[in-house]
Amino acid sequence: MAENTRILFKSRPTGWVDASHFEIAKGPVAEPASNEVLIRNIFMSLDPYMRGRMREQKSYTPGFELGQVLQAGAVGEVIVSNDASLAVGDLVEGRLGWETYSVAKATNVNKVDGNVGSLSHYLGVLGMPSMTAWVGLRNIGQPKPGETVYVSAASGAVGQVAGQIAKMQGCHVAGSAGSDAKVAYIRDELGFDTAFNYQTVASLGDALAQACPKGIDVYFENVGGAMLDAVLLKVNPYARIVACGMISQYNLEKPEGVKNLGTIVGNKVKMQGFIVSDHMDLKAEFMAEMSGWLATGKVKYREDITQGIENAPSAFIGMLKGKNFGKKIVRIAAE
Amino acid sequence: MAENTRILFKSRPTGWVDASHFEIAKGPVAEPASNEVLIRNIFMSLDPYMRGRMREQKSYTPGFELGQVLQAGAVGEVIVSNDASLAVGDLVEGRLGWETYSVAKATNVNKVDGNVGSLSHYLGVLGMPSMTAWVGLRNIGQPKPGETVYVSAASGAVGQVAGQIAKMQGCHVAGSAGSDAKVAYIRDELGFDTAFNYQTVASLGDALAQACPKGIDVYFENVGGAMLDAVLLKVNPYARIVACGMISQYNLEKPEGVKNLGTIVGNKVKMQGFIVSDHMDLKAEFMAEMSGWLATGKVKYREDITQGIENAPSAFIGMLKGKNFGKKIVRIAAE
């Protein structure tokens, strides 16, 4: 059998992640024990929250362990099964490793239907990032028709879906992204009402005022920092801030200070964090709804696929700098 | 008839408020028109939110107008009535002026029962600040028995009540205040489980860790700034931050930056602002419950009373600096 190529967590970053924090290791493929399966990984997911798992301090998911293989959502094919529930050839997704072959308990992976579009969809538009957008709007944002919804990192894995759902709900939807191409994509392809390049506008406040002339009712927060500060000056009474992530802060040794929190009191704003894995009771409902939207073209989804497990570290580093255009995926092997 | 002594809003502060922002004016007492009453003011309330009304930018209440009399909650006696609903001698509370006599529409004031304790109670423990604590815990904080509730500005008009309600609900209640006497009061008189002087502790983080060994489930936020930042590092999963006020920031030209908002995502925290005046449908329920607690001694309440309308500006300035010890009240006249 082929060897297993694995990306290990070599050292803990304090600021920006670089290549020195990873190590590529090659070795034998492990043998699955009873009730386990061996999976040939095909796609893996790179997500901003993983930066949090590189910290020593507690986060909502356990930290990555130094010297161990990094973890990621992945989809692959069962090639050895020691569990009656899964057969060789089954396609599964689960929290697996940055590696070409993973051993997993059969109960820790989910069978997926290989006939619904690309297998990579299970890591994005039919997976955790998309469900994050869906749950965040459903439970916290709760946009009403006619309200203004603003999405940062709007061409990203979560933002794309958040904006399209809000649009279907009859909202005025504004988005921002970090390149003119991304801005054109969310406006022209995804149907956002308006969008701007946060990297090149002279003033975030002015850009928000222009994009959201009636103020902001729902902010789908993916970036934090200066953007959040600017949004806080544009919130309407009873605005909801869906605190999904704050990627602008993840690589800073000292986070930026947010100065305008006083408007939360005056405008009776609700800002609430959430983690999609708390809401797995909604997964079937999400899958049914999103599969329908995807099949009918009501939701589009762009992926940014890097080829080869060896390139996963540079793909991750690039994603943290906003270099990806769409959901970041690594192709590990052919179907 | 006596002349009317009024405190006018002379100029707009950008940082700390000082005496130059006020002007004392004396003049004739106004005549009430039809459906209006003339009120001899007895007590008026000074509250931190008034600092917000001194700003030009929009707040949740209209800004004070330059050259006009400042507004405040007050209680007084009707001395002329041009409305059938109120009689001379009735005691009323409402949003009146920093002045010895106010004219008000009869529909804009509420009759109060002069036999339940001090009339000043209607500005504090039976009034807006206390109802703020009650509503904030009821609708946002929602503390459960055994949870840890932390209250900043805990000897203040709102904080005293918030802590005592949380204690009645079976919580571990911690508080902070700005003097050793205040700390002793909230711990020894009000029954907080633990309290500290935020002005003298070496580290807010260490003080919070000691006061809240199981972390913070509900933070009743009255101060903002560095305290909020320290709390954000101690929040438990699903913590609620009742964003009632941020007095530490009101007099800063540039607010302090809050760096640790990332924990809102990871710990699935809800931080929500509110304004008590949105919840007047609950007033009867609040009054019934709080009157009962007050009558049976389950809630105690300390007031800090300044004598004389002329001293209202200095009392207000002192309150913004935390010099008051208890709910700040100005006595304008004898009952």
A273-313 per-position pLDDT tens digit: 999 999 999 999 999 999 999 999 999 999 999 999 999 99
Would residue B295 count as lying in a domain? no
Instruction: Select the residue of A255, A260, A273 nearest B267 (Cβ to Cβ).
Output: A273
* Contact between A270 and B271 using a beta-carbon 8 Å cutoff: yes
Q: Using CB atoms and an 8 Å cut-off, which of residues 247-266 of chain A contact chain B? A: 249-250, 254-262, 264-266
Would residue B287 count as lying in a domain? no
> What is the average pLDDT score of chain A?
95
Q: Using CB atoms and an 8 Å cut-off, which of residues 111-170 of chain B contact chain A? A: none
Chain B residues in contact with A262 by the CB 8 A cut-off are 224, 246, 249-250, 255
Whether pLDDT at A114 is above 80: no
Residues B270 and B151 in one domain: yes
Provide the pLDDT for residue A1.
57
Chain B residues in contact with A245 by the CB 8 A cut-off are 265
Residues B152 and B273 in one domain: yes
- The structure tokens listed for A60 are 């909502």
Would residue B289 count as lying in a domain? no
Would residue B158 count as lying in a domain? yes
Nearest residue of chain A to residue B229 (CA atoms)? A257
Any A CB within 8 A of B322 CB? no
* Contact between A257 and B257 using a beta-carbon 8 Å cutoff: yes
Chain A residues in contact with B274 by the CB 8 A cut-off are 265, 268
- The structure tokens listed for A61 are 């998911």
Residues B116 and B149 in one domain: no
Tens of pLDDT, residues B47-98: 999 998 998 765 556 789 999 999 999 999 999 999 999 999 999 999 999 9
- The structure tokens listed for A253 are 């040794």
* Contact between B264 and A255 using a beta-carbon 8 Å cutoff: no
For residues A320 and B299, give the distance between their C-alpha atoms in angstroms, rounded to a whole number.
52
| Low-confidence residues of chain B: pLDDT under 50 | none
- Backbone dihedral angles phi then psi of residue A243, each to the nearest 5 degrees: -85, 90
Nearest residue of chain B to residue A58 (CA atoms)? B266
Q: Using CB atoms and an 8 Å cut-off, which of residues 171-230 of chain B contact chain A? A: 224, 228
Task: Please report the beta strands in A228-324, taking only residues with DSSP state E, as ranges in sequence order.
Answer: 235-243, 270-273, 303-307
- Choose the weakest-confidence range: A51-65, A316-330, B257-271, B289-303: A51-65
Would residue A295 count as lying in a domain? no
Residues A66 and A8 in one domain: yes
Chain A residues in contact with B273 by the CB 8 A cut-off are 264-270
The residue of A260, A261, A275 whose CB has the most chain B CBs within 10 angstroms, and thus the best one to mutate to test that interface, is: A261
Chain A residues in contact with B205 by the CB 8 A cut-off are none
Provide the pLDDT for residue B213.
98
CATH number at residue A62: 3.90.180.10
* Contact between A254 and B259 using a beta-carbon 8 Å cutoff: yes
The residue of B261, B267, B274, B279 whose CB has the most chain A CBs within 10 angstroms, and thus the best one to mutate to test that interface, is: B261
* Contact between B264 and A272 using a beta-carbon 8 Å cutoff: yes
Q: Using CB atoms and an 8 Å cut-off, which of residues 35-94 of chain B contact chain A? A: 52, 59-60
Residues A162 and A207 in one domain: yes
Residues A144 and A97 in one domain: no
Would residue A285 count as lying in a domain? no
Looking at chain A, the whole-number percentage of residues with pLDDT higher than 90 is 89
Residues B166 and B83 in one domain: no
For residues B274 and B255, give the distance between their C-alpha atoms in angstroms, rounded to a whole number.
20
Provide the pLDDT for residue A59.
53
* Contact between B273 and A272 using a beta-carbon 8 Å cutoff: no
Question: Does residue B293 contact residue A294 with C-beta atoms inside 8 Å?
Answer: no
- The structure tokens listed for A274 are 């959430």
Verdict on whether the full-model pTM lies above 0.80: yes
For B249-268, b/e burial (b = at least 16 CB within 10 A) is bbbeeebbbbbbbbbbbbbb
Question: Does residue A318 contact residue A48 with C-beta atoms inside 8 Å?
Answer: no
Residues A316 and A245 in one domain: no
Instruction: Select the residue of A255, A272, A274 nearest B262 (Cβ to Cβ).
Output: A255
Whether pLDDT at A330 is above 70: yes
Nearest residue of chain B to residue A264 (CA atoms)? B273
Distances (CA, A) of B101 to B40, B77, B96, B227: 5, 10, 9, 40
Residue A93: enclosing H or E segment and its boundaries? Answer: strand A91-97
**Structure ipTM:** 0.92
The neighbour count for residue B238, using CB atoms within 10 Å, is 15
Tens of pLDDT, residues B253-285: 888 899 999 999 999 999 999 999 999 999 999
Question: Does residue A96 contact residue A44 with C-beta atoms inside 8 Å?
Answer: yes
Nearest residue of chain A to residue B57 (CA atoms)? A233
Would residue A74 count as lying in a domain? yes
For residues B156 and B328, give the distance between their C-alpha atoms in angstroms, rounded to a whole number.
8
Would residue A209 count as lying in a domain? yes
Chain B residues in contact with A246 by the CB 8 A cut-off are 261-262, 265
Nearest alpha carbon to residue B192 among B174, B213, B208, B207:
B174
* Contact between B264 and A275 using a beta-carbon 8 Å cutoff: no
For helices A159-168 and A128-136, what crossing angle results, to 10°? 40
Tens of pLDDT, residues A176-193: 999 999 999 999 999 999
Work out how many CB contacts closer than 8 A connect A with B. 109
Provide the pLDDT for residue B206.
98
Provide the pLDDT for residue B236.
98
Chain B residues in contact with A267 by the CB 8 A cut-off are 60, 273
* Contact between A272 and B272 using a beta-carbon 8 Å cutoff: yes
Question: Does residue A140 contact residue A244 with C-beta atoms inside 8 Å?
Answer: no
Residues B138 and B272 in one domain: yes
Residues B79 and B147 in one domain: no
CATH number at residue B160: 3.40.50.720
Chain B residues in contact with A237 by the CB 8 A cut-off are 60
Number of domains in chain B: 2
Any A CB within 8 A of B268 CB? yes
Q: Which residues, 6 or more positions from B203, have their beta carbon under 8 angstroms from its beta carbon?
A: none
Nearest residue of chain B to residue A140 (CA atoms)? B270
Residues A153 and A109 in one domain: no
- The structure tokens listed for A142 are 């709760």
Nearest residue of chain B to residue A53 (CA atoms)? B266
Give the domain extent around B26.
Answer: 4-123+302-331
For residues B46 and B98, give the distance between their C-alpha atoms in angstroms, rounded to a whole number.
10
* Contact between A224 and B262 using a beta-carbon 8 Å cutoff: yes
Residues A149 and A254 in one domain: yes
* Contact between B264 and A273 using a beta-carbon 8 Å cutoff: yes
Shortest CA gap A39–chain B (Å) = 30
Instruction: Select the residue of A224, A270, A274 nearest B261 (Cβ to Cβ).
Output: A224
